């Protein structure tokens, strides 16, 4: 669906040149929700603006649905942009227009007849949950309602791709979740490809299928969201995962955890998918003559299922401890990592 090759954007300043996006290559499948995450200055917002040429690339190629976006002239680009919707952090609504008139605006520009335009606007108002607010002005709306107007407007011309540039960053947590649920619903109903730019791993965790981590203009890590959570390779990715899981796995923290106990083994358990809902601890305690002490951990829901990390102390005779660990490793889908023998 979307193929990006060698995409680069360099800005010239009086004293030097800054490379905001650095030789970025990426493929995004049709119909998926693809997340791009990075801290401020990573280049992610510049990257998403390059996809519809709100920023002109310095080098590279962007192909959407077999069409080379970077090769289009201004007239061709204007028509193609109708197939690429975009929503923004601060909504970018027309404050002198009502909800329905904001949503109708791109249809007016496209020359859609009024009767067809009115029908499409009402469809979108119903889709985004704004029925009854058609005649309200942006100043009369909450932040979440404003973003729903922005989403409806972006969908007006039935785009193939929806670009979301920090679309939930200005919203409170509850409203953020409602907007993310709406994006998942739209993705399923319309089979729409969504590219979501954010600095919040919670957003990635909740709705994305794939994620790319950006740092200093480059993609430093990429993959299935669940796999990235399970095995974050880069330090920046590890920090993002810690945002959601609420546990740090730095060596010093593990050492502190282990040093509290003077017997048994300290074990880290990775729960994935259905295994996160299993009563594993009580089951193992019944099967083996051991004591299990839960030290810390968290389980969180993702688009692809549940994921969790649990730190436990397993105490008892060495043979029983080893048998319990072998059972978990061989008979369940839970991953086991022995952090320290403290016998």
pTM to 2 decimal places: 0.83
| Burial letters 124-151, b for 16+ CB under 10 A, else e | bbebbbbeebeeebbeebebbbbbbbbb
User: Does the pLDDT at position 164 exceed 90?
Assistant: yes
Backbone angles phi, psi at 304, to 5 degrees: -100, 10
Handedness of CA 158, 171, 146, 128 (dihedral sign): positive
Q: What is the pLDDT of residue 119?
A: 96
* Distance linking the first and last C-alpha atoms of the chain: 55
- More reliable by pLDDT, 80 or 296: 80
Q: What are the structural domains of the chain?
A: 2-236 (3.40.50.300), 251-341 (3.30.70.260)
Residue 246: what pLDDT? Answer: 62
Q: What's the rounded Cα separation, in Å, for the pair 286 and 36?
A: 44
Q: Which tokens sit at 60?
A: 């590279």
Neighbour tally for 343: CB within 10 Å: 10
Which pLDDT tens digit goes with each residue over 193-233? 999 999 998 899 899 999 999 999 999 999 999 888 878 89
Average the pLDDT over each of 230-234, 263-267, 301-305, 329-333 and give the range with the smallest value.
Answer: 301-305
pLDDT number for residue 251: 45
Distances (CA, A) of 60 to 22, 47, 155, 315: 10, 12, 28, 58
Going by C-beta distance under 8 Å and a sequence separation of 6 or more, which residues neighbour residue 203? Answer: 35, 37, 168, 176, 180, 196
- Identify the weakest region by mean pLDDT among 22-36, 109-123, 325-339: 325-339
DSSP three-state, residue 139 = helix
Q: Which token pair is 168? A: 């939930």
Cβ atoms within 10 Å of 114's Cβ, excluding its own: 10
DSSP three-state, residue 38: coil
Report DSSP state, residue 149.
H
Q: Is the pLDDT of residue 33 over 80?
A: yes
CB atoms within 10 A of CB 76: 12
Mean pLDDT of the chain: 89
**Cα dihedral sign for 254, 259, 260, 262?**
positive
- The number of CA neighbours under 13 Å toward the Cβ of 156 is 28
Residue 160 in contact with residue 63, Cβ under 8 Å? Answer: no
Task: Kindly report, residue by residue over 299-317, the tens digit of the pLDDT.
Answer: 777 776 677 788 899 999 9
Q: What is the pLDDT of residue 14?
A: 85
pLDDT beyond 50 at 336: yes
Both tokens assigned to 318: 């060495």
pLDDT score, position 247: 52
User: Coil, strand or helix: which one is 196?
Assistant: strand
């Amino acid at each position: 669906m979307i193929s990006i090759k060698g995409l680069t954007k360099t800005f010239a300043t009086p004293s030097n040149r800054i490379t905001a996006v650095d030789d970025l290559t990426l493929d995004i499948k049709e119909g998926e929700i693809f997340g791009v995450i990075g801290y401020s200055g990573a280049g992610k917002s510049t990257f998403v603006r390059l996809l519809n040429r709100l920023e002109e690339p310095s080098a590279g190629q962007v192909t959407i649905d077999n069409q080379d976006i970077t090769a289009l002239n201004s007239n061709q680009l204007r028509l193609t942009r109708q197939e690429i919707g975009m929503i923004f952090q601060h909504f970018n609504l027309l404050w002198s227009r009502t909800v329905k008139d904001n949503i109708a605006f791109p249809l007016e520009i496209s020359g859609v007849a009024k009767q067809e335009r009115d029908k499409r606007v009402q469809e979108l108002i119903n889709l985004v949950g704004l029925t009854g607010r058609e005649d309200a002005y942006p100043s009369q709306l909450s932040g979440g309602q404003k973003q729903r107007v922005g989403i409806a407007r972006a969908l007006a011309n039935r785009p193939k791709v929806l670009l979301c540039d920090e679309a939930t960053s200005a919203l409170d947590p509850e409203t953020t979740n409602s907007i993310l649920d709406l994006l998942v619903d739209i993705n399923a109903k319309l089979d729409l490809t969504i590219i979501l730019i954010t600095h919040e791993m919670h957003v990635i965790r909740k709705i994305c299928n794939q994620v790319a981590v950006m740092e200093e203009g480059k993609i430093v890590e990429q993959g299935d969201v669940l796999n990235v959570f399970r095995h974050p390779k880069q330090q920046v990715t590890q920090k993002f995962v810690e945002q959601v899981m609420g546990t740090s796995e730095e060596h010093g923290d593990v050492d502190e955890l282990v040093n509290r106990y003077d017997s048994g083994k300290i074990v880290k358990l990775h729960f994935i998918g259905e295994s996160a809902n299993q009563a594993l601890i009580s089951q193992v305690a019944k099967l083996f003559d051991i004591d299990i002490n839960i030290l810390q951990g968290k389980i969180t829901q993702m688009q692809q299922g549940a994921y969790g990390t649990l730190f436990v102390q397993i105490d008892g005779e060495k043979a029983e401890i080893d048998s319990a660990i072998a059972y978990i490793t061989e008979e369940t889908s839970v991953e086991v990592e022995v952090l320290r023998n403290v016998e």
